[in-house]
Structure 1
Amino acid sequence: MTDTSANNSSAAAKGTSGEVLAAFLKLGLTSFGGPIAHLGYFREEFVARRDWIDDRGYADLVALCQFLPGPASSQVGFALGLQRAGPLGALAAFAGFTLPSAILLILFAWWAAALSGPLGQGVMHGLKVVAVAIVAQAVWGMARTLCPDRERAGIAVAAVLVAIFVGGAAGQLGAILLGGLAGLWLCREAGTGAGTALHFPVSRRAGAFALILFFALLIGLPLMAAAIPAQGLAVVDAFYRAGALVFGGGHVVLPLLEAEVVAPGWVSPDAFLAGYGAAQAVPGPLFTFAAYLGAALEPAPNGIAGAMIALLSIFLPGFLLLVGALPFWNALRAQPRVRAPMAGANAAVVGILGAALYHPVWTGAILRPEDFALALVCFSALVVWKAPPWIVVLVAATGGAVLTLI
């Protein structure tokens, strides 16, 4: 049976994919500041200026994308493109918002390999230091939003301990699962309330297929990678799994990717942190950090091929979950038994990111008092002075070069 709400809402797809591409390309070239800032840019562009969706509908869409694993701002953009111009509109929104920063980070991966002298090493170290400030800002901001009470703060602290003492992807996944279980018991008050209904041109059959494909890849890719010794398949598995387990925004992908690409020796710790710092200086979604990693991988596939494999693999699970959730969300979201464990899982995400702030970010960048001073200046610029992240990145790169020369 065809989903009635999906059919009734098909008229919402009343634009063209070219229109969507132009709108999101402008945002992909100018949207600095991370996921929260991106959602502000989207509201100004598509609610206030273009009237593609009203404020209540937009707020409800943001709530859905915050609820799901994946890159929230990119998922919101994907859904807006889907609503405006159907599947081609969704792909146009993804391409316009993602490709500018992905291309810049691929170019940085090539340029970074040439930084071999003292000055270049200082710039690279400055990029590692600014990652400390940016991750600390993310932990601070997410803790205020996702851990507003003692119960969720306790879940976050427990997640830090699990992530540190278990380590790797197993520790991070275990922390999220334990956080969800704790949320069932401790976060019942957080599991109340629901907004207005969402309607998108997605049938229940298409949604069910997307969910089946999501879980089939999540379970099947590790089995295939273990059975078939192909590096390309291992890369797809690593980045797909990282994208499937990211709750709470782009910064949370840092510890997941570190476990997937640094631990097996595909990317060096220094190159990883330098690329993460560079990712703060470009517009668009932070998930495009995957393009840098894919270009820098050893062994092949790397370069442009590795970048495209990594980029598509890390975004795919979040988009499959979004398409799968759209036809069922209105009924599901009203259930406190669903919202309460998600509140616990989100609190655990704060703990995972807090553990990553210590290792590898702090331990890999803060090696002397001068490094701590530079990180403190960058953190103050972000949190107190509200400086744009790309300016702070330039300050850190310059500071790293100066500290190397004196």
Structure 2
Amino acid sequence: MQGRGWRGVAEVFGVFLRLGLTSFGGPVAHLGYFREEFVRRRGWLDERAYADLVALCQFLPGPASSQVGMAVGLYRAGLGGALAAWLGFTLPSAALLVLFALGVARLEALGSAGWLHGLKVVAVAVVAQAVWGMAQTLTPDRPRLTLAVAAAMLALLLPGSLVQVAIIAASGAAGVWLLRGPVSEGPASLPLQLGRRWGLLFLALFFALLLALPLLCQTPALALFDSFYRAGALVFGGGHVVLPLLQAEVVPPGWVDPQAFVAGYGAAQAVPGPLFTFAAYLGAVNRAGLAPLVGAAIALVGIFLPAFLLVAGTLPFWNRLRGHPGVQAALRGINAGVVGILLAALYTPVWTSAIGSGADFALALGCFTLLAHWKAPPWLVVLLAAGVGGVLG
């Protein structure tokens, strides 16, 4: 493992902080940014190892892109690296949403800003590059390409997070059935400092908190923590899927006013990083009697803690299982299914929410060319797209 000790943790934090400041476009786009940064630029993981992590995190409840980031940090610098990856990627958007909750900035009108539209357009280029690059590596033959296309068709015809989980499971089963063969591609070396005992401990803690917290809600702080922990532990699909669950947790009890909930959701579209940081805003505007910063911290830790426990709990076993021939066959199918799901996501919601004119398509083409052929840094392309969007807007 490269990057041991505090230097490794600091390196992970710095890289993820920059990603947290520039990664617009939602979880699918985040996976594209991560692939560009950690597979192509830095070489921390190879293409197959990264795809394996994405496949695993698609199975787990919680924010998939944040979980992939935690896994990368864990491999790079141990538990400290996982925490550094989460903090760096989460802090910028959480801070902006807390500021909005405190009334420091007037962000209500950002939904129509030209520069924000430019950020949506650049997400099309980022996702398109990720789909193109992953397809070349993970669907090199007709069976896997056909499986990816079938997964994309099903995801488009039957939208929904549970359908996506079913598609991934079916892709794995199809891989075991259709893609068995000699193990010609050994998994990349992914040295992990956590053993299986630590993995069992984290998994036990995940389930213990899920069962015990509802019985311990004797204070407003614990009740708030329980609501957000449950939301993070039970939502599949991440991203916008968590919003109905959060609304059910905080609005009916009277912790958050319905109008404040909607206003915060609008502001969450204008910030980079994971959408789950919307929890920081909800915690800051809580009516449970907690100070805004205290409520924000409780909500933020509560909603992301299940993701951390699940990643740290499953990776020690995953690292051993992924070398088994049967598991590798399933992974070939799962990776093809993930490519198909990303292809479907490229159309909706990424394309449909961003491309509305010839000018939008022209900007997306230019961004894709800069990323894929000129190898421009993603953060530079993001800033360029925002500037062009602002001028056009």
Do they fold alike, i.e. is TM over 0.5? yes
TM-score, with length taken from structure 2: 0.69
Give the conservation status (yes or no) of the 8 Å contact 1:127–1:273. Answer: no
Match of 2:168 among 176, 188, 203: 176
Shift of 1:400: 1.8
Give the conservation status (yes or no) of the 8 Å contact 1:290–1:307. Answer: no
1:34 matched to which residue of 2? 34
> Counterparts of 2:283 and 2:51 in 1: how far apart (Å)?
38
2:334 matched to which residue of 1? 345
Match of 1:159 among 146, 151, 159: 151
Residues 121-130 or 19-28, more deviating: 19-28
Change (3 A) 1:183 1:64: closer
TM-score, with length taken from structure 1: 0.67
Shift of 1:360: 1.2
Q: Counterparts of 1:312-331 in structure 2 under 5 Å? A: 312-325=305-318, 329=320
Shift of 1:368: 2.3
Match of 1:131 among 123, 127, 130: 123
Q: Counterparts of 1:35-114 in structure 2 under 5 Å? A: 35-39=35-39, 65=53, 68-69=56-57, 71-72=67-68, 74-82=70-78, 90=79, 92-109=80-97, 114=106
Shift of 1:350: 1.0
Give the conservation status (yes or no) of the 8 Å contact 1:66–1:72. Answer: yes
Which portions of structure 1, spanning 4 or more consecutive aligned residues, are displaced by more than 6 angstroms?
58-64, 196-199, 262-270, 298-302
Q: 2:355 is aligned with what amino acid? A: I
Change (3 A) 1:144 1:64: closer
> Counterparts of 1:334 and 1:212 in 2: how far apart (Å)?
25
Question: Gaps (5+ residues) in structure 2?
Answer: 23-32, 58-63, 215-222, 248-260, 287-294
Q: 1:160 is aligned with what amino acid? A: A
Give the conservation status (yes or no) of the 8 Å contact 1:231–1:300. Answer: no
Q: CA RMSD in A?
A: 4.2
Q: 1:145 is aligned with what amino acid? A: T
Shift of 1:21: 3.3
Q: 1:403 is aligned with what amino acid? A: L
Over the matched positions of the two proteins, sequence identity in percent amounts to: 33
Shift of 1:217: 7.8
Q: 1:375 is aligned with what amino acid? A: A
Residue by residue over 1:273-294, the C-alpha shift from the partner in whole angstroms, topping out at 9 and shown as x without a partner, is 945xx53xxxxxxxx5145433
1:390 matched to which residue of 2? 379
> Counterparts of 2:130 and 2:50 in 1: how far apart (Å)?
19
Question: Gaps (5+ residues) in structure 1?
Answer: 1-11, 45-54, 83-89, 225-229, 246-254, 280-287
Secondary structure of residue in 2 paired with 1:189? coil
2:241 matched to which residue of 1? 259
Q: 2:327 is aligned with what amino acid? A: V
> Counterparts of 2:228 and 2:392 in 1: how far apart (Å)?
36
Give the conservation status (yes or no) of the 8 Å contact 2:264–2:281. Answer: no
